[in-house]
Structure 1
Amino acid sequence: MQEAKIIRIGAKATDHKEPILLFFGEGVTEGLEEYSIVQKIADPLAIELAVGDKILFGDATYYITYVGPYANQNLQSIEHVSFVFSDEPKEKMASSVYLTPTKVPTITTGMKITYQG
């Protein structure tokens, strides 16, 4: 289990119509920052997500239904992951983690994210 803390939320990170939240570490580029949720993971190298694992956004529990082939590598190296809150489409995004339930959680600065592997 690894914990992260939300340190910044970009102005457009949670107001789009797509059921996706983009998370990055503190090294997020200026161009992506306004669309991103910036997190600080205690030990990103220890994260290895798999189908069936849980992600907690505060107290809200979500279950992983798909892990893209680049998702763990990106989490470990730049603390990046795209969380998708929808049924799995035929063509999935390679750096994404699909979650259920499909309702996008409310995200706040200072919130704890728990990666339970």
Structure 2
Amino acid sequence: MTMFYRTQVTKIGEFATEALNDNMMILFNDNAPEDVADYCFIHPRAELQGEIAVGGFFVLGNNRYPITAVGDVVNQNLGELGHITIRFDGGRQAEYPGTVHVHGACPQELGVGTQLIFERNF
């Protein structure tokens, strides 16, 4: 596996965990606008050193999720803003341009310090 993006949750917005009930999580780096940050899992800026693509993996703490669909602006948004949405629904077509769909059960809770990693094996 080649890791090409790695960071960790440093702050959890007041309403961020509510999105987990809808099988999704919203990521934003620590420059998130204040009104948006309340809905996000905040992380420090990290350099995107590859492209997120179907066939890769999203690693969240100790869980590895196969990537099943990638929106058109995911790589740009993650690289510039650290902002994307992860959907835990195994969708084969991206619902929105900034969404990554993965296969696997959505975590019920996440804590500060949880690792966020994107990997590929190709």
Give the TM-score, by structure 1 length: 0.89
Q: Distance in 1 between matches of 2:9 and 2:114?
A: 5
Superposed CA offset, 1:63-83 (max 9, x none):
100000000100000011100
1:104 correspondence with 2:106: yes
Code of the aligned partner of 1:7: T
Code of the aligned partner of 1:78: L
Q: Closer, same or farther in 2 for the Cα pair 1:74/1:8, shift >3 Å?
A: same
Superposed CA offset, 1:46-97 (max 9, x none):
1410001011111111010000000010000001110001142777111100
- Alignment length (residue pairs): 115
- Structure 1 alignment gaps of length 5 or more: none
Q: Closer, same or farther in 2 for the Cα pair 1:12/1:47, shift >3 Å?
A: farther
Match of 2:13 among 4, 10, 24: 10
Residue 97 (structure 2) aligns with: 94
Code of the aligned partner of 1:55: F
Superposed CA RMSD: 1.7
- 8 Å Cα contact 1:21/1:84 also seen in 2: yes
- Structure 2 alignment gaps of length 5 or more: none
List aligned pairs for 1:1-117, cutoff 5 A. Answer: 1=3, 2-16=5-19, 17-44=21-48, 46-88=49-91, 92-101=95-104, 103-105=105-107, 106-117=109-120
* Segment of structure 1 superposing worse, 16-25 or 89-98: 89-98
Q: Distance in 2 between matches of 1:38 and 1:90?
A: 26
3-state DSSP class of the match of 1:15?
helix
- 8 Å Cα contact 1:47/1:76 also seen in 2: no
Q: Closer, same or farther in 2 for the Cα pair 1:47/1:28, shift >3 Å?
A: farther
- 8 Å Cα contact 1:3/1:41 also seen in 2: no
